[in-house]
A and B are shown apart, each in its own frame.
Chain A
Amino acid sequence: GAVVSQHPSRVICKSGTSVKIECRSLDFQATTMFWYRQFPKQSLMLMATSNEGSKATYEQGVEKDKFLINHASLTLSTLTVTSAHPEDSSFYICSASFLNLQETQYFGPGTRLLVL
């Protein structure tokens, strides 16, 4: 149980375009979903926390107009990187937690974004 999927697994795009990444909880209803960014050989940096039906809470230094998060249902959250630039190239990982075990986060497989 507690499977989280992410799509796409990798994407290459041109500078200035927007990219949408989906995060789904497959076998549970996620009360909270988290979006992280991980640069090579570095730790996971939390970008934002999202709860279904409400606006995401962004970490300091993360531009909410650039990284749009939508949490439309208890099983789906999306992250849209708008007007992507090469410095946005990174590994984006989502995680989800559910009501009865809110502390534990289950991670998706990640999306590798390369902006040319």
Chain B
Amino acid sequence: AQSVAQPEDQVNVAEGNPLTVKCTYSVSGNPYLFWYVQYPNRGLQFLLKYITGDNLVKGSYGFEAEFNKSQTSFHLKKPSALVSDSALYFCAVKRGNTDKLIFGTGTRLQVFP
């Protein structure tokens, strides 16, 4: 069965510092990997995805993620955090384009001024 894990419930970082939000996955075959962001009492917004190709994927708002097949990871990164990046971040995975999306439990990112 496919699954995705976000090992940290919360990540705290100072504004201007780099941030990393971790995600690992378990899926047979080639994974489709996604990051979404959710602001309080709002729906989820798509940030970026990895389907194939370059392991480093760039997305919205300066975020990027690196696909690491050997470590089955897809960590979200940003070189310099902003207070406005504070939100709930979800990693998601599906097996090819025939399965439904499976979401992780979310990681709350808190960026302090």
Partners in one complex: no
